[in-house]
């Protein structure tokens, strides 16, 4: 079993851009924010370039990719967004479902209905040497479909676990994640997880066997309001070890 101490932290900085966009300003500067996250122990910087450009802008992605450190991009599998990714060349990219009025990503990809579009996007990203991931709900069928599409990594959606208020429900959701995680590892893909993780619910997820990285945004940026960004990242990082 892999030790939990090696679980990496991807810090999603979308909501630092949300704050900047509230005033259509230059502050807070995202490249500077990314550097502070790294000082706090972030292993990679995550951002989601949405089709509606509600927070991260194309220029942010280009600036982040040109600066130091590993950038993990979240994007929809539509040709417009894949074309931007191919130009920016982040180290890795995760294809996610996207719908216009959602507040945040709502669950994983439906690989049964979207296999063609996702497969095309994966092919283009891989050709450009961008490591690819798919955001999926923790079910064996999704893991098998992800494998058949040739991705390097899978990010299991933790929303159902995070939102489960009742203890038994939460334990059942954790077990679903563990089982899917075993299959991801068995099929030779790297295991990531994320969405709605926070300082209270993250530890059991970090202890899932084979977990390589967790991608966390809202909780860290919210905490940063009180303790500063570097400390907020550091506190989360400590919970992963």
Residues that bind ligand PXP in the complex, under the rule CB under 6 A = 12, 14, 48, 74, 94, 96, 104-105, 135, 155, 194-197, 215-219
> Could you give the C-alpha distances from 11 to 108, 114, 172, 238, in angstroms and in order?
19, 27, 27, 14
Sequence length of the chain is 241
User: How far apart are CB 53 and ligand PXP at their closest, in Å?
Assistant: 14
The residue at minimum Cβ distance from ligand PXP is 217
CB of 206 to ligand PXP, least distance (A): 14
Q: Is 195 an active-site residue?
A: yes
Report, in Å, the least distance between residue 6 CB and ligand PXP.
19
Structure tokens at 200: 């209270």
**Residue 93, CA atoms < 13 Å, CB-side half-sphere:** 28
The answer to whether residue 74 is catalytic is yes
As measured in angstroms, the least distance from the Cβ of 154 to ligand PXP is 11
Q: Which of 74, 155, 173, 178 is catalytic?
A: 74
How far is C-alpha 78 from the geometric centre of its chain's CA atoms?
18
Dihedral in degrees, nearest 10, Cα atoms 35, 40, 42, 45: -30
Say if residues 73 and 90 touch (Cβ distance below 8 Å). yes
Return the number of the residue (15 or 38) whose C-beta is nearest ligand PXP: 15
Catalytic residue among 15, 55, 72, 195: 195
> Across-strand partners of 228?
none
Tell me the sheet residues that pair with 134.
95, 154
- Between 65 and 205, CB nearer to ligand PXP: 205
Q: Which is nearer to ligand PXP, 56 or 65 (CB)?
A: 56
Q: Is 48 a catalytic residue?
A: yes
- Selected catalytic residue, list 48, 55, 72, 192: 48
Read off the tokens for 16: 């630092």
Please give the positions annotated as active site.
Answer: 48, 74, 195
């Amino acid at each position: 079993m892999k030790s939990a101490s090696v679980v990496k932290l991807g810090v999603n900085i979308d909501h630092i851009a949300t704050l900047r966009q509230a005033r259509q300003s230059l502050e807070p500067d995202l490249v500077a924010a990314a550097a502070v996250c790294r000082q706090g122990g972030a292993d990679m910087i995550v951002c989601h370039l949405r089709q509606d450009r509600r927070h991260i802008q194309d220029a942010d992605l280009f600036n982040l990719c040109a600066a130091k450190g590993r950038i993990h991009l979240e994007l929809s599998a539509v040709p417009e967004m894949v074309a931007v990714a191919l130009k920016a060349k982040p180290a890795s990219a995760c294809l996610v479902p996207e719908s216009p009025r959602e507040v945040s990503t709502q669950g994983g990809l439906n690989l049964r209905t979207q296999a063609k579009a996702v497969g095309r996007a994966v092919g283009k990203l891989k050709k450009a040497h961008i490591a690819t991931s798919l955001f999926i709900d923790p079910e064996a069928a999704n893991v098998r479909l992800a494998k058949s599409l040739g991705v390097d990594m899978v990010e299991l959606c933790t929303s159902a676990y995070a939102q489960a208020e009742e203890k038994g429900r939460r334990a059942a959701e954790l077990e679903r994640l563990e089982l899917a995680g075993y299959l991801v590892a068995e099929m030779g893909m790297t295991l990531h997880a994320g969405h709605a993780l926070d300082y209270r619910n993250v530890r059991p997820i970090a202890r899932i066997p084979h977990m390589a990285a967790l991608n966390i945004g809202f909780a860290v940026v919210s905490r940063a309001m009180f303790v500063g960004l570097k400390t907020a990242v550091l506190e989360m990082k400590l919970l992963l070890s």
